[in-house]
Amino acid sequence: MAFNQKAFEKIKKDLEPYKAKLVAVSKKKPASDILEAIQAGQFNFGENYVQELCDKREEVKSKGRWHFIGHLQSNKVKSIAPFIHLIQSVDSVKLLNEINKEARKSDRIIDCLLQVHIAAEETKFGFNEQEAEALMLYPELSEMENIRIRGLMGMASLTNDEEQIKKEFTSLHYLFTNCRLMSMDPEGFDTLSMGMSSDYKIALDCGSNMIRIGSMLFGERDVR
Ligand SMILES: *Cc1c(COP(=O)(O)O)cnc(C)c1O
């Protein structure tokens, strides 16, 4: 059994008081693991690579809800636009335009989160805080009728320093509150996706309402 039922129960229990949602991150894991998770009652899955996502979705049929959480290239948007539930990793206006265009072709409105760079590490994708706020007020946004910006997503630094992680999550929560005030649709701006296997408890205490858990549910991978 590759899906850790015990860990699943524990995470669900931890989530209860916060009314937060769980996205099971199944990247690099086989479709059979996803089917086990579905059997256990988990329906939201996060994937980082377009081809891998499309292949596995074929295998598990249409039972799951798919979240895209990796860096998304504009030319790959069309492959996921017909079915994706939430694109959590929007990191440029160009990408947002492309999602809007492909969503229109599929006659859909696609929910998106802006990925914000909060970690100390240099390599991660995402807007900085100023860019995210500027985007909320971007005039062309009101013309993008086939996307809905539902909130923010971020990853804390890879560190054991809990204070550092707490500081980063707290600043993302603060930014989330500010962006909601700027949103054209504050009611719909309701999702703050932060927290992974190693730091989800800190994230929940800092205001997260969606956590993305991979290794704790499916075991270690060779890449993050
Ligand atoms: C891989 C990944 C996760 C899950 O990480 P774990 O540490 O395995 O829980 C969450 N979010 C993003 C964006 C990821 O790429």
Domain residue limits, the chain: 5-215
pLDDT tens, residue by residue, 68-92: 999 999 999 999 999 999 999 999 9
Nearest CA to ligand 1 atom 12: 69
- Contact between residue 162 and residue 128 where contact means Cβ atoms under 8 Å apart: no
Angle formed by the axes of helices 162-182 and 129-136, nearest 10° = 20
Nearest ligand 1 atom, CA 89: 13
pTM: 0.97
Distance separating the N- and C-terminal Cα atoms of the chain? 22
Q: How far is the CA of 47 from the centre of ligand 1 (A)?
A: 9
State pLDDT tens for residues 5-45.
999 999 999 999 999 999 999 999 999 999 999 999 999 99
Q: Phi, psi at residue 153, to the nearest 5°?
A: -135, 140
Which residue reads 């909320």 in tokens?
A: 136
DSSP 8-state symbol, 106: T
**What CATH homologous superfamily does 5-215 map to?**
Alanine racemase (3.20.20.10)
Q: How far is the CA of 127 from the centre of ligand 1 (A)?
A: 18
Q: Which residues form the pocket of ligand 1, taking CB atoms under 6 Å from any ligand atom? A: 25, 27, 48, 69-70, 155, 196-198, 212-216, 224
Lowest mean pLDDT segment, chosen from 61-70, 92-101, 121-130 = 121-130
SS3 128: coil
